[in-house]
Amino acid sequence: MLGGAVPLALFVFGVAGFGSACGDRTTDGDPTDLHGVFDRSAQASASSPAGAPSGSAAPSSSTAATAAPEARDPADATGCVTEAGTADATITRTVGRPACRGAEVLEWRDASGAPRYGCLYAARNAESRGPLPLVVYFHGTGGGLDDPASLSKVTKLRVRQETSDLGGAKPGFHIIAVQGRAVAGGKYGTTFDTAHIAPDNLDVAAADHFVDAVRERGTVDDKRIYAVGMGRGATMAITYAMIRADRVAAFGAYAPLVPDAKWSCSGPPPPGIVEYRACDAIASCEDLESWMLSRDEQRAETTRIRLGEADKEDPSCAVKNKCSKKKGEAHHLRWPKGREKDLLGFLAQHRMK
C-alpha cells in the first residue's frame, strides 16, 4: 500500500438486478458473457424506492441536477493503492512545447530531467468569479491525439467551460491539459505511464505540479478537482484519481484501457463515469464491463454509458463479427461530443469535504 488507509465514506452501489439484453441473466448462461450485463428492465428500475442502492444499471446518462453533491473525506483516501510496476523512463525523443491556442503553457522539468508542459485554459475573469472547479485533462494516443492541444480538436469541453455549473462559486471551470512523454513503452508516441503505480510516477508528479501551480493563484475550488481523459489518457485519469484520491473528487473516462492500479482500502475507490463504445478494438467493451463489475464489488459509484455507432446508448457489447478492427479503431478515437453533459453532470455531483 502507499501508506496508512482509513475506509472511505460508503458510496452504495449494489450488484443486484443485472440483466441481459434479452431479459434477466440466469445461472444457466455463460458467466463470461458480459453482453448487456449492465442492462436492467424498466420495471426493476421503477420499483426501486428513492434513495435505494442503484444497482448496476443500464448505461445511463441521468444525473439529478438538484441532488446534493457527494462529499468525500480526503483523510479517508490516503495510501489506498498498492504499489506496482517500474517507471518507464526511457525517453525516445524530446517532446516540445505544445501549440495550445488560447492557453497559457506552463513549463516544468520532472525528476528524470524531461521537459513537461501543461496547457492552462483558465475561465475568463476568474479572479472576480470566486474559486472555480479544475478539470485535469489527459490526452489520448494515436490519430493525432497525443498532444494536449487535441483537447480543442476532439472535445467541446472548452466550449462548455464558461457556462457549465460544476458547483463552484459561479458557473464555469478551469482546465489544465497535461502533456505526456515519448517513452519506450508508448506505442503511439506521446503517452502516459499507467503501469507504474506509485506516488513518484512521473506523470502523476507532473499533474500534481501543474495542479498546484494553478491552485497557488487562488482561483481553484480545492474541493472540486476532477480527472478526465480519453484512451490511454482516460486510463491515466483513473490512475491519477486513485493515487490522488485525497484531492480528486471524481473522474471521467472515455474508452479507457483497464487500469493496472488496484484499490486496497476497505472503503470504495473514487467515483467515476465511464463512457465507452460497444465496438472498440483497443478498449474492449467486455474487458471494461468486467472491470466495472469489480468496482461494483468494491461499492464504487460508477456511471457507465455504452455507446453505439453514434452517441446513442447501445444495449450490449458488439458481436465480434460485427466489429472489424478498422471500425473498432476508429470508434476508439471518437470522443462522444454529444455526451459531455453527462460527463460534466456527473462530476458536478461530487466534491471533497
Residue 152 near residue 158 (C-beta atoms within 8 A)? yes
Alpha-helix runs per DSSP H in 117-229: 126-129, 150-154, 157-160, 202-215
Cα–Cα dist 344/252, whole Å: 8
> How far, in whole angstroms, is CA 78 from its chain's centroid?
19
Residue 239 near residue 259 (C-beta atoms within 8 A)? yes
Q: How many CB atoms lie within 10 A of CB 101?
A: 9
Model pLDDT for residues 93-127, shown as the tens digit of each residue = 778 899 999 999 999 999 988 899 999 999 999 88
Which residue, 276, 280, 281, is CA-closest to 302? 276
Q: 25-34, long-range: CB within 8 Å, 24+ apart, which pairs?
A: 34/285, 34/286, 34/289, 34/290, 34/293, 34/317
**What pairing do the DSSP bridges indicate for beta strands 174-178 and 115-121?**
antiparallel
Helix (H, G, I), strand (E, B) or coil at 38: strand
pLDDT value, residue 69: 67
Q: How many CB atoms lie within 10 A of CB 121?
A: 22
Angle in degrees, 0-180, between the axes of helices 232-243 and 202-215, rounded to the nearest 10? 70
H helix count then E strand count, the chain = 9, 14
pLDDT value, residue 188: 55
Model pLDDT for residues 121-142, shown as the tens digit of each residue = 999 998 888 899 999 999 998 7
Helix (H, G, I), strand (E, B) or coil at 210: helix
Q: How many CB atoms lie within 10 A of CB 274?
A: 26
Q: Where are the domains of the chain?
A: 71-352
pLDDT value, residue 45: 34
User: Which of the residues in the chain have pLDDT under 50?
Assistant: 1-66
Q: What pTM was estimated for this model as a whole?
A: 0.82
pLDDT value, residue 55: 35
Model pLDDT for residues 135-180, shown as the tens digit of each residue = 999 999 877 788 899 999 999 999 999 999 999 999 999 999 999 9
Which residue, 25, 48, 80, 18, is CA-closest to 243? 80
pLDDT value, residue 75: 73
pLDDT value, residue 67: 52
**What topology is assigned to 71-352 in CATH?**
Rossmann fold (3.40.50)
